[in-house]
Amino acid sequence: MSNKRSNSFRRAILQGSRQIKGCSLRDEVGLGLSQQLVRHVAYETLPREVDRKWYFDSYTYCPPPWLILAVTIAEVAVFMYYGFQLDRLVLQVSSPSFLKSPLPYHPQLRAQAWRYLSYIFMHTGIEHLSLNMAMQLLVGVPLEMVHGALRIGLVYACGVLAGSLAVSVTDMSAPVVGSSGGVYALVSAHLANVVMNWSGMKCQFKLFRMAMALVCMSVEFGRAVWLRFYPPAFPPCPNPSFVAHLGGVAVGLTLGVVVLQNYEQKLQEQSLFWIFFCVYAVFVLCAVFWNVFAYNLLDVRLPPPP
């Protein structure tokens, strides 16, 4: 969202709101469906009533929340394409041709830099895609409506890159597929923001919904851990790693929280944002050097290229 308020303007609104009694956004009546959706999103994501009112009055659906929808549509399209090509929708990873796609990250092909991002468009099966897609849409679209495509895209992309780099450093022989790095970055940032602003968040059934979100994340993570250590269909290549989930969570709890907490302020004016961004940049730089030198120095035994 552009044209954010200055601190002085926000203080003026706060002072004025203290003089208005019983004037809550929930008291608005006669709203259309689109306005009710905007109000719902405001209570889902913003902890202060003044921010919710400002967002409700200024949001115009222009531009619409296109980024998360576009990424999701692309993921579904790629999955369906390979579903027909491999002739399977469940556990596509068990197909001998699955890793021959130019999209997944594979340790033997780590010099192909695009794979550190493009792996999000491949999923191990429909169960993997469904869980990621549900969390991505239910959390990502409202966040994009409030914070804009640039901020949410930054958190998502950083989570995706951190996921693949974390795998290349800690699980060096495993491939990576799935959008869990980006999804877990968004979801963990949102949940942390809710916890940190618990009294201000007025979304309904927030404790139950947080519990359900954690259950979904745990189920998806547990599925990934099980698959990683399940005997691979085509040894010696192991099944995809689960470490990308943890990389996404790390980004969400650091960089993501700063992005979501500063709704009305420019990120470049926040010292905490630059601290976390610099830490992230150092991690990326160290991981790049690790990929260039460590594999040969440690004489890591890698699976054959697909």
Phi, psi at 231, each rounded to 5°: -55, 125
Among 168, 178, 81, 164, smallest CA distance to 123 is for 178
Among 51, 71, 44, 248, smallest CA distance to 153 is for 71
End-to-end Cα spacing for the chain: 43
Rg over alpha carbons for the chain, rounded to the nearest Å, is: 21
Q: Which helix (H) or strand (E) holds 66?
A: helix 66-86
Q: What share of the chain is helix, strand, coil (3-state, %, to 5)?
A: 70, 0, 30
Distance (Å, whole) CA 73 – CA 248? 21
Please identify every residue annotated as catalytic.
180, 245
C-alpha distances out from residue 193 to 166, 190, 231, 273, 303, Å: 24, 5, 39, 15, 41
Distance (Å, whole) CA 172 – CA 121? 21
Q: Which helix (H) or strand (E) holds 165?
A: helix 126-170
Determine the residue type at 256.
G
Residue that the structure tokens 């999923």 belong to: 123
